[in-house]
Structure 1
Amino acid sequence: MRRAAKADDNQPVIVKSFRQLGWTVAHTHMIGRGFPDTVVSKQLPSGLKFTAVIEIKDGAKPKSSQALTPDEVVWREAWQGEYKIINSIEAVLEYHDWVMKKF
């Protein structure tokens, strides 16, 4: 029997940070089997709509505890779209700035 997927402790603040920056966030951590924790999207000033899958790791934990699981590694390697690992509010801000400058 498959174990229920559990959200990282910092997921609520990560999600709140994305939403405060104007992103739409869909929770997907319960899908399991390596699927990332959230899907985020944002309409950019250019009119483009940008979507990414976000794997949330708890930056307060040791680096060894933030490693991807084997299922997450397989999923990431097969994914052909935008994929990002986020572990803090600062990482959300950096990613937001990167997206806004790039697109």
Structure 2
Amino acid sequence: MRRAAKRDSNHAEIVKALRANGVMVLDLGAVGDGCPDLLAGALGRLTLLEIKDGAKPPSARTLTDDQVKFHREWLAAGLPVFVVETIEAAIAAARNPGLWE
């Protein structure tokens, strides 16, 4: 039996800020198996976002083995997953097409 996914303390505020900035957000936090926390849509693009709490020590912000595998597989298909710790980083990843290049 799988445990319920733990959300980082900044998860809700990042979702709220993304939506306030015109970004469509689908919360994927309960999917598991290394799937990122959010699917964000803006400017005709979809972006996968993995939220980490920047207030935690670096050891508590590391990706799990499942997350590393997911990120690697999706990046190999040309679909990066952005790891974000702040509202500003999340908005930039979702709204800045230049990050894809």
Q: TM-score range by the shorter chain?
A: 0.7 to 0.9
Give the Cα separation in 2 of the matches to 1:78 and 1:101: 19
Give the Cα separation in 1 of the matches to 2:59 and 2:69: 18
1:65 positional shift: 0.7
Change (3 A) 1:82 1:58: same
RMSD: 2.0
The residue that corresponds to 2:93 in the other structure is: 95
Which structure 1 segments of 5+ residues have no match? none
When Rg is computed on C-alpha atoms for both structures, the one with the higher figure is 1
3-state SS of the aligned residue for 2:96?
helix
Aligned length: 98
3-state SS of the aligned residue for 2:13?
helix
| 8 Å contact from structure 1 (residues 25, 41) kept in 2 | yes
3-state SS of the aligned residue for 1:8?
coil
The residue that corresponds to 1:54 in the other structure is: 49
Structure 1 residue runs of 4+, over 2 Å off?
Answer: 92-103
